[in-house]
Chain A
Amino acid sequence: MPSFQAFIPFLAPLVMIAAAAFAGRHPGDPRRVQRFAEASGVAAVVVALATLLELLLGGRQTSPLIGVAGLGFAARIDALSVSMLLLVSVVGLVVLRFSRNYLAGDPGQARFSGGLTLTLGAVMTLVIAGNLAQLLLAFIATSLALHRLLVFYPDRPKAVMAARKKFLVARLADLALAASLAILWLRFGTADIAAIAEAARAAPAGAADSALIAAALLLALAAMLKSAQFPSHGWLPEIVETPTPVSALLHAGIINAGGFLILRFADVMLMAPPALHALALVGGFTALFASAVMLTQPAVKVQLAWSTIAQMGFMLFQCGIGAFAIALLHIIAHSLYKAHAFLSSGTAVDAVRAASRAEAGAPATSWRVVLAGTAAVVLAALAWMLLPPATDPASLTLAGIFGLGLALLALPAAEGRGISGSLAVALGTALAASLAYALLHAAANRLFAAELPVASLQSGAAAAILMLAFASFALLALLQLTAHRWIATPLGRAARIHLANGLYIDAFADRLMARPLTSSQS
């Protein structure tokens, strides 16, 4: 006898869709529309909490299917879906509340609110999906609903152009996902996602055939397209043509759908190492490339967009090396950070001013950098002796990259007016960050253990990828630590210009999408 609690998660998208419908019926009454939307936002958070309660009390479960021939709608309750539903509903509520005053007076405010709630409804449907059909439909619906928000000001040509680019990429992602899910459905003989995961987990090693590998590769492709990975990233920096709350929602709640797909099918992905390697390579490269570009960007929202591309790359890299639980932690932490960063992007004037006021008195010198960097890393290592993290190669690689990040604290520390104050701050930060990292990783691995396998990829290829990744991140860190030596050289100047232009990937895309030149040949 199916218990009605299993259907609880559906209430979240339903209240959102109701709010969207209300907005559609009352376009001339933004106040009531806004009140309805915010109430729905609160309700969705409550539903997410109730779902969490159900997970704790009733355990992991999939609701009975509403559909035919095994295809349709079913709610999945497990650690992954509950985490994502909580995340999306909290971010959604914040964004809805923010939009009340931010869009006040805009003639399209009711339409805006309707677009936000519809998009949120679609995302929520996606993250609770227990059936392939629901997953695909919600995936497509999310991007279509979002599209309406991206062209909220249809008279802005650049916004329309950017949305068109995004639209093309999204349709490619839809195709890849549809093909991948079709193969999975046929291959596993069920559209029940939990059943597929179970079957995949139970499959003996080497059970993967070419169809399954193709499905995994297509899934990886869909994830990379959805999460703006190189070279399909160009639309994301341009899409800041949209009102700030849309950017916040997109960067915190939608862009990570690619990662969510991989996590949802983590067991399937583990059967197909080539697909994981592809993710690790593309994600890792994107992380390095986009974070370097980020350093050169003078506009706050564009800089945030490049940061998101990089963070999504890093998250997919984590997926690709099998650190799925850590990737989910990364998604959640990044979403909260980035939602706040976009919504508060109006403080950039103060931030830049504060930065220039805190300008260090002395330039970094090599010995100071080495001293401070070594101290930070040693401290981090000490912290990990207190709280030992996992010791498989993937976790060690990630810990190593984390350590490289801490070593970079040497730069601000070494620039201090008197080194002692900033060194103390840097070392304190390194210690606190290491402890937080170790704790959070341990917690993530434990909390998500049921859904997200802690895998160790034991092949030569996997080991090579880990080494390559660490070496690349180390190189980038080293370049930053030695920046004062090369930044003003001709090569350094040229590199900055090329990177500031995102290595022209987008210029080529624009050229392809623009009308051909008609005159010069005439």
Chain B
Amino acid sequence: MDAMPSSSAAAIAATPDSASVLAAARSAARRIAPLWPLDSFVAVNPYFGLADHRFADAAASLGRTAGARSTMPRAFYAAALDDGRMTLADLSAALASAPPPSARLFDAGKLAAFAVSTEGEPTAPLDTLADIAGRRTRRDWAGHVVGRISSFAARHFDGGQASWRNPSAPYGLYAAWKAEAAIDRTSEIAGITGFRAIVGALPDDRDAMLVESVERLALTPGQLPSYFERLLRSVGGWAAFARGRDWPGELAGKQGETVVDLLAIRLAHELALYGFLSKDALLRGAFAAARRTYAAPVDPLSEAADCLLQSAYEHAWQRRFLPALLQPASLPASARPAAQAVFCIDVRSEVFRRALETVAPDVETLGFAGFFGVAIDHVGAGGTATDALYPVLLQPRFMVCDAVSPDAAATKRLGHDAGRVMRGFRGAAVSSFAFVEAAGLGYLGKLAADSLQLGRRSDAAVASGRPELDPGEQEGRLTGIPPADRLASAAAILRGMGLTENLARVVLLVGHGATTRNNPHAAGLSCGACGGHSGDANARVAAAILNDPAVRAGLVGMGITIPADTLFVAALHDTTTDLVSILDAETLPRSRAHDIALLKAQLAEAGRAARIERAPRLGIESDPSAEARVMARARDWSEVRPEWGLAGCAAFIAAPRALTRGLDLGGRAFLHSYDWRKDDGFRTLELILTAPLVVASWINLQYYASTVDNRVFGSGNKVLHNVIGGFGVVEGAGGDLRVGLPMQSISDGRKLVHEPLRLTAVIAAPVDAIDRVLAAHDHVRALVENGWIHLLALDGRTMRRRTAAGWRAVEAG
């Protein structure tokens, strides 16, 4: 209590002005990672927005604002120490590369003791007013507020689940909410007397509302950042979704408003509770105390020891993983390979590439981002809607439509009409009764077909047809890719892949997708570089560009000669079944039929090997039926683990394949083909470090966070998932929108299948070249220096590690 006078004096001295309130709101909004709708569900770094902080500081801050864990429970590390996976030497190594303050506090022995203690285990987040009110009145007001906001937001953002469309959807989030809250009586019935009047009296202008609320809650400028962030994280799923809504605008340089709108809505609930309980002196006192905690600085050491344990765990893993990369590499074959197959850098490609190289030693495989440098909006046959087939960090360059005959388009449209009529019949009041009586019995057949996995067997999720590259127009947008752009794209693709010489007769461009059924998170298994879609359209476009004679003629002038007999062929790797299908095989020259047939046989054989390798991890015993059972998962409507996706991802290697060829990396490494000797001006290196590496780290941190705290960063239990608005899931009947990965994607129920490791990136390039890229790109340097990824440089036989303190040699083994 003795602190009261001084702090209230400070409050009077520093009444926040409107600019600082808005600035605090925007900065809180920027700390929220975006979330994409489920139909284009791509991995997002859940710590996005915190990457400019050290990992341990971000962990401490997330503990306060979200009640989140950022490392595993201590028992995890204690077990690793116990069974010898992690040793005291690893603890010492972690301490040696830790920033000074935490390194000074501990030694390896102390850390080992800490691993078996419960000292300072994470506690609850900072109190909101709803939390305090809940304790005072013994009602779950925090849950009530989340429920109300979730109910409103689900209806507002609904993509079409409810057939009665929401007429206020076009309005801004805050305006729409305010209009609705003035009508909705739920909160008053629940006991917040006068809720509608309180909301009605709020300013219509959101910024004015923020300022007024801050004044009425007597918040000082120093308290705002943490308080605002805490409020947003109390509806963290919706905040993330709102940030995803703002994302395209932000990429285009516009200020996002949706997250700030959501903050205003959440703040309004605090205000309503405050008004309703205004006579409660104890509550006011408790809130005054809570306000002071918001201004208190984050204790940077609160999570330091746990983070050190995690670093040591990663060090132990690297100790086992890295030496193989230092073995003498097999000399790159200089003879012309029989074929080259370019796969996505996705860790699942590693298994297949290894299998293919075993089956066909004269085939060379390469790794490249699975959209093949072709950032397109794609329009499927006969449709009008576009799919965004590019990484979310980029913006589309072109719109490409599938070439379709008028007949096919008409059939497709009739299918759409039929679908709409049936949905109307089934979904409208009154007609739904008629529907059940006329058609309900037919569902016996559907139940049988789905249970017995009858029906269409899909080898691969081929969603596209042949792309039309020649210019056209659809709904006011130009489509196709102009010749000059084709040439530039072709050069960029070939240089990026390092495929500018010694091209084989067949170059396979293998996109990937995943076949699964009845799976809300299906897009998460597709190609992230294609915006959570199957990569077939991108592969087709890239192949078409590279086969274009005019493009090839132009490339000669740029110093790239594609042999006349080289043919680029698009293919699709179905990661669930490991079937690779060659696309448009019927349009390929007859003369190449033999090459293609051989390649098909090799791909099929490699697929078998890959399935057999994956089977044990899926819990399938190795018996003759194992392979078929791996494949069956793609068609099983009750399967919650059709495949393991990118679970296990731990490393990113940008190097010539010769360095890793023959190594069993267990499907845990992103492999990007890269040869710095061919990289003129290190432009490809810059591209790799700023795009594929960042995307790999996003994926890796999504898996990491979903594993260490699934409650905050994951989407919980799939068997409870309830798809909301067609864009997201909640667990059960309602509550906050869930982000990240379901438990079933990281665990088999008994043990974790994803081992939480921050990404180990090994770049085969000179350190000064890497440093130049880091110096030019602060966000990448922040990822490295703040401990979000481990960056190692491999230059010949020496490996060095980059930390905030610079480069240090890594002793192998």
Contacts and interface: CB of A to CB of B under 8 A. Distances in A.
Q: Do A and B come from one complex?
A: yes
A299 B423 contact: no
A104 B641 contact: yes
B749 A520 contact: no
A149 to B, nearest CB: 12
B158 interface: yes
A363 B568 CA distance: 45
Interface string B437-449: 1111111101100
A158 B424 contact: no
A239 B428 CA distance: 23
- Using C-beta atoms within 8 Å of the partner chain, give the interface range for chain A: 35 or more
Contacts of B20: none
Interface in A465-496: 473, 476-477, 480, 483, 487-488, 492-494, 496
Interface centre among A105, A432, A437, A480 (most CB of B within 10 A): A105
B185 A297 contact: no
A256 to B, nearest CB: 12
Interface stretch (A48-56, A131-139, A273-281, A330-338): A330-338
Contact of A98 (B133, B442, B451): B451
Contacts of A8: none
Contact of A159 (B279, B434, B438, B732): B732
A204 B143 CA distance: 59
B721 interface: yes
Interface stretch (A13-21, A60-68, A213-221, A303-311): A303-311
Contacts of A91: 447
A429 interface: yes
B183 A346 contact: no
A58 to B, nearest CB: 26
B161 A300 contact: yes
Contact of A421 (B279, B417, B442, B636): B417
Interface in B88-136: 133, 136
A336 B441 contact: yes
Interface stretch (B165-173, B236-244, B330-338): B165-173
A447 interface: no
A459 interface: no
A520 B280 contact: yes
Interface in B175-207: 179-180, 183-186, 189-191, 193
A343 B416 contact: no
Given A106-B719, A314-B433, A346-B519, A353 B726 contact: yes
A65 B103 CA distance: 81
A207 B578 CA distance: 73
Nearest to B156: A298
A134 to B, nearest CB: 28
B418 interface: yes
Contacts of A385: none
Interface string A100-122: 11111111000000000000000
B724 interface: yes
A410 to B, nearest CB: 9
Contact of B721 (A101, A346, A404): A346
B420 A355 contact: yes
B733 A487 contact: no
A355 B167 contact: no
A320 to B, nearest CB: 14
B163 interface: yes
A520 B137 contact: yes
A391 to B, nearest CB: 18
A51 B422 CA distance: 36
Contact of B424 (A99, A409, A473): A409
Contact of B164 (A100, A105, A241, A295): A295
A517 B139 contact: yes
Interface string A264-294: 0000000000000000000000011001101
Interface string B700-744: 000000000000000001011111111100101111000000001
A340 B450 contact: yes
Contact of A425 (B155, B414, B520): B414
A352 B725 contact: yes
Contact of B420 (A297, A412, A500): A412
A354 interface: yes
Given A344-B450, A346-B723, A349-B39, A297 B161 contact: yes
B409 to A, nearest CB: 11
A299 B161 contact: yes
B435 interface: yes
Contact of B155 (A105, A500, A515): A500
A296 interface: yes
A356 B385 contact: yes
A249 interface: no
Interface centre among B184, B276, B722 (most CB of A within 10 A): B722
- Using C-beta atoms within 8 Å of the partner chain, give the interface range for chain B: 35 or more
A425 B279 CA distance: 64
A492 B179 CA distance: 13
Interface in A327-372: 329-330, 332-337, 339-340, 343-358, 360
Contacts of A298: 154-155, 158, 161-162, 724-725
B136 A519 contact: yes
A45 B383 CA distance: 44
A90 B425 contact: no
Interface in B592-651: 619, 636-641
A4 interface: no
A292 B429 contact: yes
B808 interface: no
A298 B137 CA distance: 31
Contacts of A404: 430-431
A451 interface: no
A496 B443 CA distance: 31
Given A357-B383, A401-B434, A412-B420, A299 B425 contact: no
B726 A515 contact: no
A394 to B, nearest CB: 14
Nearest to B749: A105
A488 B170 CA distance: 12
Given A303-B162, A343-B450, A487 B167 contact: yes
A456 interface: no
Given A98-B451, A408-B428, A412-B421, A348 B161 contact: yes
B401 interface: no
Nearest to B732: A241
Interface string A245-261: 10000000000000000
A337 B436 contact: yes
A100 B444 CA distance: 20
Nearest to B448: A94
A174 interface: no
B164 A496 contact: yes
Nearest to B721: A346
A406 B389 CA distance: 40
A170 interface: no
Interface centre among B439, B638, B749 (most CB of A within 10 A): B638
Interface centre among B159, B185, B438 (most CB of A within 10 A): B438
A409 B430 CA distance: 11
A417 interface: yes
A287 B525 CA distance: 40
A299 B722 contact: yes
Contacts of A94: 447, 451
B528 to A, nearest CB: 17
A507 B185 contact: yes
B7 interface: no
Contacts of A494: 183
A349 B733 contact: no
18 contacts: A94-B447, A99-B638, A298-B161, A310-B433, A330-B433, A333-B440, A336-B440, A340-B443, A340-B447, A352-B160, A352-B727, A353-B726, A408-B425, A417-B417, A425-B417, A441-B437, A500-B155, A501-B184
Top 6 closest A-B pairs, CB basis?
A105-B749, A352-B726, A333-B440, A405-B434, A405-B431, A291-B429
Given A298-B725, A352-B727, 16 more contacts: A105-B750, A159-B732, A240-B722, A295-B164, A299-B725, A326-B437, A343-B447, A358-B420, A406-B431, A412-B417, A421-B417, A422-B421, A476-B429, A500-B151, A501-B185, A507-B186
